[in-house]
Amino acid sequence: MKRFFAFFFEHKRFGEPMRYLLIGGICAVLDLFILFIFVNYLHIWYLYAATASFIIVSTLGYFGQKYFSFRNYENNHGKQFPVFFVMAGVGLLLNAGFIFLFVSIMNLWYILASIITKFIVLFWNFFANKHITFKKNESF
């Protein structure tokens, strides 16, 4: 079992994306849970709820992505955290736009819309954080 995890999470080529998917998957499940609670129990409009859950989970995701996914141990939170949130802000706009499109225009269930949207926004988040926020060998 240890060799299995080492292969996927330590592999030179695939380790970083696999670690990103693990943290991203945890964040996605947490995001859906928070979204469900906000909409069904707190009766918050789905778009406000999606925005709030996205912000909460992005804050937690920053630390997982920084330390686990991209293995960035530089002590420059003051510069990376704002950049991360700019990148997450673009992701948030994409998230809100696609959820609105899927729910209000295409009449999909908000949870299904959120799941589809997560796969779309995943690519933006990975490449933005890899090449901008946590870029190796460069400091901001």
Q: What is the crossing angle of helices 77-100 and 110-128, to 10°?
A: 140
**Residue 117 included in any domain:** yes
* Nearest-angstrom CA–CA distance, 120 and 103: 15
pLDDT at 55: 87
**Residue 140 included in any domain:** no
CA angle 106, 107, 113 (to 5 degrees): 85
Token pair of 34, please?
Answer: 């928070």
**Residue 18 included in any domain:** yes
**Residue 89 included in any domain:** yes
Q: What is the pTM of this model?
A: 0.77
Token pair of 2, please?
Answer: 């240890």
pLDDT at 99: 92
pLDDT at 26: 95
**Residue 139 included in any domain:** no
Residue the block writes with tokens 């945890």 = 26
**Count of helix runs (H) and strand runs (E) in the chain:** 5, 0
Token pair of 10, please?
Answer: 């330590």
* Nearest-angstrom CA–CA distance, 101 and 98: 5
pLDDT by residue, tens only, the chain of 140 residues:
667 666 667 666 778 889 999 999 999 899 999 999 999 999 999 989 988 998 899 889 999 999 999 888 888 888 899 999 899 889 889 989 999 999 999 999 999 999 999 889 988 999 999 999 988 765 54
Expressed as residue numbers, the domain containing 116 is 2-133
Query: What backbone torsions phi and psi does residue 73 show, to the nearest 5 degrees?
Result: -105, 10
- Total structural domains in the chain? 1
Structure letter (DSSP) for residue 107: -
